[in-house]
Amino acid sequence: MSEDKQIKSVSDLLADENMSTEERARIEKQVAKSRGQETGKPEKAWYVLRAISGKEASVKEILEGAMKNSDLGHFLFQVLIPMEKVLQVRNGKKVVKERNLYGGYVFVEAILTPEVENQLRNTTNVIDFLKGKDRGSKPEALRLSEVQRMLGVADAFNNIDEDDIEYRVGDTVKVNYGPFSGFVGTIQEVNQEKKKLVVMVKIFGRPTPLELEHSQVELELS
């Protein structure tokens, strides 16, 4: 609502017949700049590149190298692949693995001049920018709220506690310790207090329940 009021007051100001042409042009330029509409001078913003799945890290490496070794560094400021930390138990030990939070996407902060847009789009393993559905749409800059969410969701996983691991009925787990190591099954029962599970696996083609400790299994990632 405050933005509407500001625009209305500016419009009223520009309608003043006593205002000089130079002053009117100066105010119009300031308004256009505040709205990001000043032509010929793209502003720094976040964009999303669609990458070949599994090649996100390669795209990041190529772009960061270009930032250091070419003029691209004057227009490209950050390249991010938001990651999440996943706690697993392997060989009786708790380990933390990283997983791409948004598979197939690379986030870039850039001043998107036509030359920069072309260079980013033609980077090895990049498919295109994420953009509108209309044919011929330009790359869409992320809103501030989207950027904050993207960065915030990734940061939320940075301080994962090993005790946060939680098994649930229906989860798929892989046995990684003991005589049944390598078997994959589905959790049927969970005893959180004793840190034990009942896992249904197939042995010689027959469903067989196994009672296992948390330290003997790891969650299978989807």
pLDDT for 192 equals 82
143-196: pLDDT as tens digits: 887 887 777 655 555 555 545 567 889 989 888 877 788 899 999 999 888 888
Condensed to tens digits (0 to 9), the pLDDT of residues 192-218 reads 888 889 999 998 889 999 999 887 888
Question: Which phi and psi (to 5°) does residue 151 adopt?
Answer: -75, -40
- The CATH classification number of 166-219 equals 2.30.30.30
Of the pLDDT bands very low, low, confident and very high (cuts 50, 70, 90), residue 134 is confident
Please check the confidence at residue 61 and state whether its pLDDT lies above 90: yes
Spatial distance between the Cα atoms of 140 and 104, rounded to a whole number of angstroms: 17
pLDDT band at 131 (very low <50, low <70, confident <90, very high): confident
pLDDT confidence of residue 25 = 59
Neighbours of 119 (CB within 10 A): 19
Q: Give me the residue spans of the domains in the chain.
A: 2-34, 44-162, 166-219
pLDDT on residue 187: 93
pLDDT band at 29 (very low <50, low <70, confident <90, very high): low
pTM: 0.54
Q: Return the CATH number of 44-162, one of 3.30.70.940, 3.40.50.720, 3.40.640.10, 1.10.10.10.
A: 3.30.70.940
Instruction: Give the dihedral sign, CA 66/67/68/73.
Output: positive
pLDDT at res. 12: 45
Place of tokens 């991010």: 80
Let me know: does 89 contact 41? Beta carbons within 8 Å: no
